[in-house]
Amino acid sequence: MSKKKIRTCCLVIDASIAHAAGTLESRHPTGARCRDFLIRVRGVCHRMAWSEAISAEWNKHQSPFAAQWLVSMMNLQKLRPVKDELSEDLREAIAGHSEDQNVVAIMRKDAHLIEAALATDLRLAALDDTARGHFSRLAATFESIRGVIWVNPAIDEEQAIDWLEDGARAERSRRLKP
C-alpha cells in the first residue's frame, strides 16, 4: 500500500493558537482544535516559520502543551528561521487603511505575521478573525497580501486539519480578499 505524498509548507502559526492549545485530555472545542492542529502540523511534516517576533509571542503566551510541541518541532528541525524584516510598504498601507486608530493598532500588532507569511509560503494560522477581516479589507488596495492564506483552526467549518493533510493548498476561499 502506497502512502499519498503530501506537499509540505512553512506555516506562520500565531501565538493565539499556542495559548489556546489544550492538553490531550482537553475537551474544550477551541483547545482541542488548536491542539489537534498543532499535532497535525508536526505529523504531516509541515514546518513552522520562526522569527524573533514570533518566538517572543510564543514564549509569552504558550500553553504547557504548546511548549512541549514546540520542543518536539525544534528537535525534529521543523522550525524555519525567518528574519524579522519590516515591510515599510505594508506598514504605510496599514497606517493609511483606517482613520480608526484601534483598527490600525490591531493590524500593527499582527503585521509581523503577515510579513513572515510573505517571506515563506504565504500560509498563516491564527484565531483572530477581527485582524483577518481588517487585512482582508486592506487586500482590496494593497495587492501584495492578496496571496496570503489565513486559516483559523478553532472554526470547525474551516476544516483546518483536512486542509493540512491535503498539503495546505492555496485555496482561493482562504485567501485574504476584499
Of 170, 143, 144, the residue nearest 11 (C-alpha): 170
Counting every residue written for the chain, the total comes to 178
Contact 62, 15 (CB under 8 A): yes
Euclidean distance between CA atoms 176 and 153, whole angstroms: 16
Whether the predicted pLDDT of 2 surpasses 90: no
49 DSSP β-pair partners: 80
Identify the band that residue 7 occupies on the pLDDT scale cut at 50, 70 and 90. confident
Average confidence (pLDDT) over 71-83 = 97
CA angle 65, 39, 11 (to 5 degrees): 105
Euclidean distance between CA atoms 133 and 138, whole angstroms: 9
CA angle 111, 115, 119 (to 5 degrees): 170
Identify the band that residue 178 occupies on the pLDDT scale cut at 50, 70 and 90. low
Euclidean distance between CA atoms 152 and 17, whole angstroms: 9
* C-alpha grid cell, residue 31: 483547545
Q: Which domains does the chain have, with CATH numbers?
A: 10-174 (3.40.50.1010)
Euclidean distance between CA atoms 34 and 22, whole angstroms: 7
